[in-house]
Amino acid sequence: MVNPAGSVPPLNRTTARAIIGSLADGVVPRVGAHLFTAGRERWLQSLEEDLEDLADEASLDGRLRIINGRNGDGKTHLMHLLRQRALDAEFVVSYVVISDQVPLHRWDLVYSEIVRNLATRTQPDAPGLRAILNPRSPDPDVATDFTQKAISARALGGIHPSFAEAIYRYCTEQTVNVDAEQDMLLLGSWLEGHGHRLAGMGVGGVVDRTNGAAMLRSLALTLQHFGFHGLVILVDEVESVLNQTTPRRRESYQTLRLLVDRESMPVRTLLAASTTPPMYTDPQRGMSTYPALWSRVRIESSSDFINYNSTLIDLTRTPLSESDYVAIASSIRSIHARARNWEPVEEGTEDFIAGAVKIAASGRLTLTYSPTRVFVKMIADTLERMYQHADFRPSTESLVQQFGSTDQLLG
């Protein structure tokens, strides 16, 4: 929820400045996303219900959510909010951004990124599986009976034998060579999806596309075994596959199918993936070109009444209202006041914000990015200019053109 206008909870100036800097650059800040969230309450309530259901030990299912929206509609923002809620609920969370370095057509790299980016409530800065299950300093949430759980992990039902052996040896430091530290590095690397089979330690095979679903299930079951409520995997920028060649795009969709397959999805695991509308509508490059994936993610609904609990979180159907934009602007202004130790309310921002709000919520803008991202950048950047230049006053004229020029800067 957005805080009441002009109200920001305790926030040090360094953090406030970092938030404003990110907003002025047009990106989601690493912290503080909850301070300027509006219009997404129903979606967040649904996601919180997912976490509540998955945390129940009686849960026998996993959960898939696809967050669909234009660039700047708030997909990444919503993922950041979900990440924090999941950490607070004692889930292990991995946030993965699909990129040239982590291409979706390379299952081994995607799996490795998932494992290396695992974060917990007590270690939120993505320490990875090695740090969470570090035998000499395990995560505080799993430190109790750590060794006993490591030993019994080999008897877990549904876990891949090689994964179970690697977990056991890594968590109990059961090495076989004189250089024990090297063995530990090899085990950790194997668990992260790298390296070769470790036959001398009873760890056969490697993580690849053929056993990817089994390894992901093994990871989820292991984390639950050690005491976490479940696993949340956030996969952002999936829409980047649209720009790939046809063979690479098909391989990418094959990887995505492995991730979203409801039949093989690990129990007590939530997977949220971001998409853009062309992934659903483009007949040449979209997900419909890969039937094995399309059958799992296709959403059919013609109703004007949104089902907030459906697999698809369609942000294009819930545009922000004028009151939402007012709340966001008020929070940004309050954060900026904390960051710069001044009071922008008295500096003539009211007319500018009121005009920008009406245009952003009008639905008549034609932009590359969504009005929300452009609006946020405009407000943050304008406040920065006002603070830095005593004679600067934001113009209320040609606001549509200002939206357009700001949109171009985001590109």
Domain for residue 4, yes or no? no
Strand order across the 118-119 sheet: 118-119, 92-97, 231-236, 269-275, 63-68, 312-314
- Report the interhelical angle of 107-116 vs 246-260 (nearest 10°): 50
DSSP calls for 64-77: EEEEE--TTSSHHH
Domain for residue 6, yes or no? no
Based on the fold, state whether residues 259 and 404 are members of the same structural domain: no
Distances (CA, A) of 371 to 138, 230, 339, 407, 410: 45, 35, 25, 9, 12
Give me the number of domains the chain comprises.
Answer: 2
Q: For residue 174, what pLDDT is reported?
A: 94
Q: Which residues make Cβ contacts (< 8 Å) with residue 221, sequence separation at least 6?
A: 156, 158, 159, 266, 267
**Measured distance CA(74)–CA(2) in Å, rounded:** 14
Based on the fold, state whether residues 311 and 324 are members of the same structural domain: no
Based on the fold, state whether residues 265 and 332 are members of the same structural domain: no
User: What is the domain extent for residue 183?
Assistant: 41-315
Q: For residue 95, what pLDDT is reported?
A: 96
Q: Which residues make Cβ contacts (< 8 Å) with residue 146, sequence separation at least 6?
A: 135, 138, 171, 226
Based on the fold, state whether residues 51 and 28 are members of the same structural domain: no
Based on the fold, state whether residues 303 and 242 are members of the same structural domain: yes
**Measured distance CA(339)–CA(334) in Å, rounded:** 9
Which residue among 315, 337, 370 closes a domain? Answer: 315
Which residue among 278, 295, 315 closes a domain? Answer: 315
Q: Which two tokens stand for residue 265?
A: 């999805």
Which residue among 285, 315, 345 closes a domain? Answer: 315
Q: For residue 262, what pLDDT is reported?
A: 73
Q: Which two tokens stand for residue 15?
A: 């953090």
**Measured distance CA(85)–CA(91) in Å, rounded:** 9
**Measured distance CA(407)–CA(370) in Å, rounded:** 9
Q: For residue 150, what pLDDT is reported?
A: 95
- Strand 92-97 versus strand 118-119 pairing type: antiparallel
Based on the fold, state whether residues 234 and 276 are members of the same structural domain: yes
First to last CA, the chain: 29
Based on the fold, state whether residues 123 and 213 are members of the same structural domain: yes
Give average pLDDT by consecutive 10-residue segment, the chain, 411 residues: 52 94 92 89 96 94 93 93 96 95 89 95 91 96 94 92 95 93 94 86 85 90 97 96 94 87 85 94 95 84 83 92 95 93 76 95 93 96 92 90 95 76
Q: Which two tokens stand for residue 193?
A: 């999806």
